[in-house]
Amino acid sequence: MSTRPWIVDDDLWELIEPLLPPWPERSPGPKPVDDRRCLQGILYVLVNDIAWQLLPLELGFGSGQTCWRRLDRWQQAGALDQLHRILLAKLHAAGELDWTRACVDGPRPREKGGAATGPSPVDRRKTGSKHHLICDGKGTPLYVITTAANVNDITQTLALVDGIPPVAGCPGRPRRRPAAVLGDKAYDSRAVRRELRRRRILPVISRKGSPNIKGLGKLRYVVEQTLALLHQFKRLAVRCERRVELHDAFVSLGCSLICWRRLKKARS
């Protein structure tokens, strides 16, 4: 990770700027802080997991309250989800998405939070949340769901598959279905297998009480790797936002940054 990963380079800003809702021309009060500076302040919080009120004013990002409100505004406008879809389309156009398989996983829960929290399986005294992720065969994050810590992984399998956005970038209809879905025994269910086949997706899921499918772990390691990359953003490792939509805004930013780094690497 860069020594200053909150700095937004010019190429990335060209993608982000048209997605942000314009500021009202006759808005009351002083002139608002520039969107690009606010975004860098938001990324500073995402990377370092500091309280909003501790955002250093000397860096020129504006106050923590300013950045918090801007993040809320952008999330309500759907700008951050759009950015993720655009970057997925660019990776698809560059041949960097592997649709032959998708991998699902849900790591251990994170403490703190408000809505979408529940008793932690590892400590029933505490409430927490966890992320459910589906990625392509190369580990590119396609969709993430935040749920309470006590939500079973298997209940989110179809929601993850159906939540993959339509990915354009190549001739023909946008792609949104992998050829196969890989999962461990936590995702073993006849109903899930049946629904995946109905969607013309091959379920490759180990069965409970039977040995693991040979070689499945070597194919599924990418989802664990992607979760580790996502949780390198310290704000995602432990949830602090009580409003789940603000936490999801940080998740979208984290996924977009992972996609952007892969796109830059493919172009180099």
**Tens place of pLDDT per residue across the chain (268 aa):** 456 777 899 999 999 999 999 877 766 656 688 899 999 999 999 999 898 999 888 888 888 898 999 999 999 999 999 999 999 999 999 999 999 999 998 865 555 545 544 454 544 455 678 899 999 999 999 999 998 888 888 899 999 999 999 999 888 899 999 999 998 888 989 999 999 999 999 999 988 877 777 778 788 889 999 999 999 999 998 888 888 899 999 999 999 999 999 999 998 8
Query: For residue 179, is it within any domain?
Result: yes
Say what the pLDDT of residue 126 is.
57
Range of the domain at 179: 99-267
129 shares its domain with 177: yes
Contacts by 195-200, CB closer than 8 A, 24 or more apart: 195/158, 196/157, 196/158, 196/161, 199/161
Q: CA 182 → CA 35, 163, 215, 263, distances in Å?
A: 40, 16, 11, 24
Say what the pLDDT of residue 28 is.
63
256 shares its domain with 207: yes
CATH code at position 155 = 3.30.420.10
- What is the count of structural domains for the chain? 2
Query: For residue 88, is it within any domain?
Result: no
134 shares its domain with 247: yes
Query: For residue 16, is it within any domain?
Result: yes
104 shares its domain with 173: yes
159 shares its domain with 228: yes
Say what the pLDDT of residue 26 is.
66
176 shares its domain with 118: yes
Query: For residue 92, is it within any domain?
Result: no
67 shares its domain with 149: no
132 shares its domain with 163: yes
112 shares its domain with 20: no
Q: Are 134 and 164 in contact (CB under 8 A)?
A: yes
Query: For residue 94, is it within any domain?
Result: no
Q: For residue 68, give the nearest of 240, 263, 257 by alpha carbon.
A: 240
Say what the pLDDT of residue 116 is.
47
11 shares its domain with 134: no
Q: At which of 45, 77, 109 does a domain end? A: 77
177 shares its domain with 256: yes
Query: For residue 21, is it within any domain?
Result: yes
42 shares its domain with 111: no
Say what the pLDDT of residue 163 is.
96
Query: For residue 123, is it within any domain?
Result: yes
128: region left, alpha or beta (phi > 0 left; psi from -120 to 50 alpha): beta
Say what the pLDDT of residue 122 is.
47
